[in-house]
Amino acid sequence: MTTAADILVETLIEWNVDTVFGLPGDGINGVMEALRKRQDAVRFIQTRHEQSAAFMATAYAKWTGKLGVCLATSGPGGTNLLTGLYDAKLDQVPVLAITGMQYHDLVETFTQQDVDLTRVFEDVSVYNTVVSDAAHMENVASLACRTALARRGVAHLSVANDTQEKPAEEEGRSRRNLPRHVPNEWFSYRHEPADNLVREAAGLLNDGKRVAILAGRGAIEARDQLKQSAELLGAPVAKALLGKAALDDDDPYTTGGIGILGTAPSQEIMKNCDTLLIVGSTFPYIEFYPDPRAVKAVQIDLDPQRIGLRHPVQCGLVGDAGDILRRLNAMLDKKGDRSFLEAAQDQMRGWREQMALLTSDRSHPLKPQPVAHAFGRRVGSDAMLVTDSGQNTELAARHIDLRTTNAFSVSGALASMASGLPYAIAAGLACPGRHVHAVVGDGGLAMQLGEFSTAVRHSLPLRILVTCNGMLNQIAWEQMMFLGHPQFACELAPINFAAAADAMGGRGFTISTFDEIERVLDEAFAVEGPVIIQANVDRYEPMMPPKMPNDYAANFKKALPETSGHQRIEENIAREPLLTMMRGGENAETDGD
């Protein structure tokens, strides 16, 4: 007897799904049984929280380029998926979520776990339906997979628990529902911009005297062509966080990251360019883009909806970044004047020297930068890196140098805490043989700490660095800089994460002083994993943009006296390069800004 759930699982297999993340419950046990029977083709990864399952499905899709799949039971299981699914929605990743429901004839009767998940999932999904029986499943399961891939978003199927077990009998089929009339086949398409558009874009870029490039996730597969464009245009490249692995961090053509956790040279090239080329990025912080009145822009993106979203463009090229850049490069003249690039390279040398002051700081309490940097030096050229949301993101972005052979990801547009560990686990499962590294915060890690046991269960080669500052530190600084409010409610009660790692059957290590860094990291890296390395770092170390804008500086000054630990904060910002970063706005003014 074939059930509706069997049809669902067979459909997943036909769509090349090899892994499903989730947690069982009585609302989804029909699907669990179908999965049990097909363990030869699909592995089920049991998570300790449905939120992690959704983050893992999202991350798995990012790491593999395939459809990510997660499942949960009715009611609380389903609602727990939501945050991870929004991560997929906001980063445009194909994910299928499967949830259970009450018995079909008890829906909306206030029975146990009776949550109408199709209504709940309405906003997050591009395809969202209740499955009525096995014949219906045949169509909608296929369409759900297809729509998630086609629209690069979340598809959701909700199946009543008795419907899951319903046999696929012919008499249940309506006359119009011919068997297999929705094929389990993926018809991909590739949009190519017309020649005259590419020529127009090349003309704009050839006319530019100071061209800057902003590269994001869409540039990663186009890295060779991107590098060639930068060479031809004499254009420095700022990298949005999701595009961190698009060029080596020490490549002479990049000014590194952009935004609050970026570099000062990236900020400079955006301020001083006359032409901008955006490749596969909708980096959200508009204040870090050039002045839209003064700067012409060309944008390349897979998604026409995203063209001109952050910066007005004179020319939008819709399609694959690698293909388009290849055509564009053939029409670009090599710029003779390299002064804009050389100025950026000079500034970048200065910036890297400034960062070295932070990463070699031996002071006590231990600063997070030397630990992040030493951790990063151990990240092999084939390894994967993830981070979470907070100051830890800035540490990974600024102080860990990656190569294009590395893989990097993060909860991008959603910027959700608690995503780092699930992303790392998904990396270990998606790419066996590669080491996985994560830099996470004590706030974010605590949210899904139990998931570490999933990494232990699968013996994943994970090294997780948790920067224990006892703070929701990014927010502490945002309260002060953005609003002029004293830090409030950001202090965290301590957790011994290293002991928790041991308690879950992994290995835990602790670093509390500068002198311990190398030895403890060597010990931790000698273990195949998973390990948690707990770095007890200064809770008063700032998280600052590369150049503090004047209004942030004024707000900060106002908030500081009433902020606990203000004397320690003042001591910390009195050292270089933080002093210069803090005075960023003032300097800009004396520069004639």
Ligand X SMILES: Cc1ncc(C[n+]2csc(CCOP(=O)(O)OP(=O)(O)O)c2C)c(N)n1
Given the rule CB under 6 A, which residues bind ligand X? 388-392, 415-418, 441-444, 467, 469, 471-475
User: Shortest Cβ distance from residue 51 to ligand X (Å)?
Assistant: 9
Outline where 93-133 has alpha helix (H). 117-120
Residues 385-424: x where in contact with Mg ion by CB under 5 A, - otherwise, as a string? ----------------------------------------
User: Shortest Cβ distance from residue 474 to ligand X (Å)?
Assistant: 4
415 binds, among ligand X, Mg ion, none (CB under 5 to 8 A by kind): ligand X
Angle ∠(557,562,567) on CA atoms, nearest 5: 75
389 binds, among Mg ion, ligand X, none (CB under 5 to 8 A by kind): ligand X
User: Shortest Cβ distance from residue 415 to ligand X (Å)?
Assistant: 5
Which residue lies nearer to Mg ion by CB, 194 or 493? Answer: 493
Q: What is the greatest pairwise CA distance in the chain?
A: 81
444 binds, among ligand X, Mg ion, none (CB under 5 to 8 A by kind): ligand X
Q: Got the DSSP string for 15-47?
A: TT--EEEE---TTTHHHHHHHHHTTTT-EEEE-
3-state SS, 450-498, equals: HHHHHHHHCCCCEEEEEEECCECHHHHHHHHHHHCCCCCCCECCCCCHH
268 binds, among ligand X, Mg ion, none (CB under 5 to 8 A by kind): none
By C-alpha distance, which of 404, 527, 380 is closest to 463?
A: 527
Determine the Cα–Cα distance for residues 425 and 532; give it in Å rounded to an integer: 13
Q: Got the DSSP string for 211-227?
A: EEEEE-GGGGGGHHHHH
| Token pair in block for residue 144 | 């759900």
Determine the Cα–Cα distance for residues 428 and 422; give it in Å rounded to an integer: 10
User: Shortest Cβ distance from residue 24 to Mg ion (Å)?
Assistant: 33
Which residue lies nearer to Mg ion by CB, 417 or 520? Answer: 417
Q: Does 442 bind Mg ion (CB under 5 A)?
A: yes
Q: Which residue is nearest to Mg ion (CB)?
A: 441
Determine the Cα–Cα distance for residues 476 and 365; give it in Å rounded to an integer: 18
Which residue lies nearer to Mg ion by CB, 60 or 540? Answer: 540
Which residue lies nearer to Mg ion by CB, 419 or 473? Answer: 473
User: Shortest Cβ distance from residue 178 to ligand X (Å)?
Assistant: 46
Angle ∠(445,73,151) on CA atoms, nearest 5: 80
User: Shortest Cβ distance from residue 390 to Mg ion (Å)?
Assistant: 6
Is residue 320 within 8 A of residue 302, CB to CB? The reply is yes
Q: How many residues does the chain have?
A: 593
255 binds, among ligand X, Mg ion, none (CB under 5 to 8 A by kind): none
Site for Mg ion, residues 144 to 183, rule: CB under 5 A: none
Which residue lies nearer to Mg ion by CB, 471 or 501? Answer: 471
By C-alpha distance, which of 30, 80, 28, 31 is closest to 55?
A: 80
Which residue lies nearer to ligand X by CB, 380 or 494? Answer: 494
Q: Specify the residue for token string 């870029």.
A: 205
Dihedral of alpha carbons 125, 130, 134, 140, sign: negative
Residue type, 201: A
User: Shortest Cβ distance from residue 581 to ligand X (Å)?
Assistant: 17
Which residue lies nearer to ligand X by CB, 28 or 418? Answer: 418
417 binds, among Mg ion, ligand X, none (CB under 5 to 8 A by kind): ligand X
Which residue lies nearer to Mg ion by CB, 102 or 473? Answer: 473
Options 143-151, 162-170, 292-300, 438-446: segment touching Mg ion (CB under 5 A): 438-446
By C-alpha distance, which of 322, 206, 334, 221 is closest to 275?
A: 206
User: Shortest Cβ distance from residue 89 to ligand X (Å)?
Assistant: 15
Find residue 97's DSSP bridge partners: 70, 156
User: Shortest Cβ distance from residue 388 to ligand X (Å)?
Assistant: 6
Question: Strand 43-46's sheet: what is its strand order?
Answer: 43-46, 19-22, 68-72, 95-101, 154-160, 125-131
Among 256, 441, 542, 546, which residue interacts with Mg ion (rule: CB under 5 A)?
Answer: 441
- The SS3 assignment for 133 reads coil
Site for Mg ion, residues 457 to 516, rule: CB under 5 A: 469, 471, 473
| Token pair in block for residue 586 | 């003032």
User: Shortest Cβ distance from residue 439 to ligand X (Å)?
Assistant: 9
416 binds, among Mg ion, ligand X, none (CB under 5 to 8 A by kind): ligand X
Size of the site for Mg ion (CB under 5 A): 6
Q: Which residue is nearest to ligand X (CB)?
A: 441
232 binds, among ligand X, Mg ion, none (CB under 5 to 8 A by kind): none
584 binds, among Mg ion, ligand X, none (CB under 5 to 8 A by kind): none
145 binds, among Mg ion, ligand X, none (CB under 5 to 8 A by kind): none
| Residues near Mg ion, by CB under 5 A | 441-443, 469, 471, 473
